[in-house]
Structure 1
């Protein structure tokens, strides 16, 4: 059987070497398609693949149509909105992600962004400290838990909203559960977003919700740009000169936001939450191990298109 690693932005060499070792020791063939610029190269490479690992590469209906033998595709990372789940399901292809492998990298970035905004983008002038501030974690999953853990070291007061996590679980970890998303936003000086982009969450972070934030509030988005209502965000930033927004997913309206709001807004040029050597390696190796486990035993533990 053939396992294809298709990455227009390749894994680190250590990750690729590890993936090869896992694959070949299991008795499978490994094929690499790296730095491709033409999607037709992907169509050709996947034509005879039984399994595929991708990073942010889009697995569209056309890719699925070209993948005549594909049984499983694994997105090396937590988010999987680059996978056409309906197309995979229709063809009987198992789609997986690798939850938790990038979590520490994203959590560290979120806290780093808070420090960056609190200290005036590291420009001269009087900033503020994170100690004693209230941090709201919107979605208490793998990343959210690590954000809470790190933030405690800064002396922050931690709140969280996640209807899928029992309040006693949060309480045992020193986090105060709130009853509604509105309560979270009206309570906290900093909000760290960790929700996925779904039909229910897209543009859910809107004018009305953000307007509830206390004076000097800062929204930190290391999740997905689609969850932000950019028009509502821009309107509020214009009305409330005390609010700030920082993200590692450049908004569609980046140029306008940067011109209008200066140091109150910052975006990295590219998504960088998982851009650490450790996360790169962890996610790649996890993807390879999950594929081998599926092909050998039918293990579908991390399937996302059930």
Structure 2
């Protein structure tokens, strides 16, 4: 089978070598398309691919229509809103993700951003400490659980809300479970977002919700850009000059945030959550193994478009 790895942001060379070794052992052919700049390059490359591994690359109906032989797409990472899963299902194409492979990398970044924020972005002025602060985790999946694990080391008081995770499961891990996201925001000094971008969550982090935060509150977003109601958050940050917002996903209104919340806002230039050598390798090799399992055994354990 011909396996296309199409990555506008390439895997690390060691990850590519690991992917190739996995596919070679199963008798498959690896084709690489890295750092492509035009959609047509992707359309041409996918035309005769049996399987596709991507990162944040947009897999639209146009791409799926061009892929005449395609049977499976694996997103090397947890989030898969860059793939039109419904259209893939219509065409009988399996879509999978690789949950958990990037979780620790994202969780560690949360605390990199947090320490930077509580120390006033290292401007030389006295900041505060994370120890004893109340941390709210919105969505208690793989990343959220890793955030909780690290937060315990900082001596934080940890709360979580997840509409799909039973309260007793959260409590069993030594974390306080709250009844809704409004309670999470009003209770905590810091709220870290780990929700996917769905019809229900897009723009759900709005002025009404974030305004419930305590004085000096910090909002951290390492999830998806779309969950933030940017216009309302900019307005709130102007009214609440005690609040801070840090993210690894540059907002569309980045310039407005930087101007109107100067000294209280930070965004990395590009999405950084999974940008570690370890996460890169883990997710890429997991994707290759899942493709091998699919062709060898019909295994669809990680399918997200059933």
> What TM-score, normalized by structure 2, do the two folds share?
0.99
Aligned-pair CA distance for 1:261: 1.0
Correspondence for 1:19: 19
TM alignment of 1:8-87, pairs within 5 A: 8-87=8-87
- 2:284 and 2:206 map into 1 onto residues whose CA distance is 35
1:105 aligned residue: 105
Any conservation in 1 of the 2:237–2:260 contact (CA below 8 Å)? no
Task: Report what 1:286 is aligned to.
Answer: 286
Partner of 1:239 in structure 2? 239
Deviations 1:51-91 (A, max 9, x none): 00001111111100100000000010111111011221110
What does residue 255 of structure 1 align with?
255
Q: 1:264-297: CA deviations, max 9, x gaps?
A: 0110010000000000000000000001101111
CA–CA separation in structure 1 for the residues paired with 2:148 and 2:277 = 23
After TM superposition, the runs of 4+ consecutive aligned structure 1 residues lying more than 2 A away are none
Structure 1 CA distance, aligned partners of 2:5 and 2:225?
A: 26
The residue that corresponds to 2:208 in the other structure is: 208
Deviation of residue 33 (structure 1)? 0.9
After superposition, give the CA deviation of every residue in 1:167-212 in whole Å (9 maximum; x if it has no partner): 2211121100001111000000000000000000000000100010
Question: What CA distance in whole angstroms lies between the structure 1 residues aligned with 2:159 and 2:194?
Answer: 13
Q: Which residue of 2 aligns with 1:146?
A: 146
Report the secondary structure of 1:121's partner residue: helix
Partners in 2 of 1:284 and 1:250 — Cα distance? 24
2:171 corresponds in structure 1 to 171
Distance 1:132 1:232 in 2: 30
SS in 2 for 1:3: strand
Partner Cα distance (1:241, 1:38) in 2: 42
Provide structure 1 residue ranges, at least 5 long, that are not aligned to the other structure: none
For 1:191-206, what aligned pairs fall within 5 Å after superposition?
191-206=191-206
Q: What is the total number of aligned residue pairs between the two structures?
A: 306
Let me know the Cα RMSD of the aligned residues.
0.7
C-alpha separation in 1, matches of 2:179 and 2:196: 20
- Secondary structure of the residue aligned to 1:263 is coil
Identify unmatched segments of 5+ residues in structure 2: none
Mapped to 2, the partners of 1:41 and 1:114 lie a distance apart of: 39
Q: Which residue of 2 aligns with 1:161?
A: 161
Q: Distance between the aligned counterparts of 2:36 and 2:239, measured in 1?
A: 44
SS in 1 for 2:261: helix
What is aligned with 2:272? 272
Structure-1 residue corresponding to 2:187: 187
SS at match of 1:74: strand
Q: How far is 1:111 from its partner?
A: 1.1
Q: Alignment partner of 1:4: what SS?
A: strand
TM-score by length of 1: 0.99
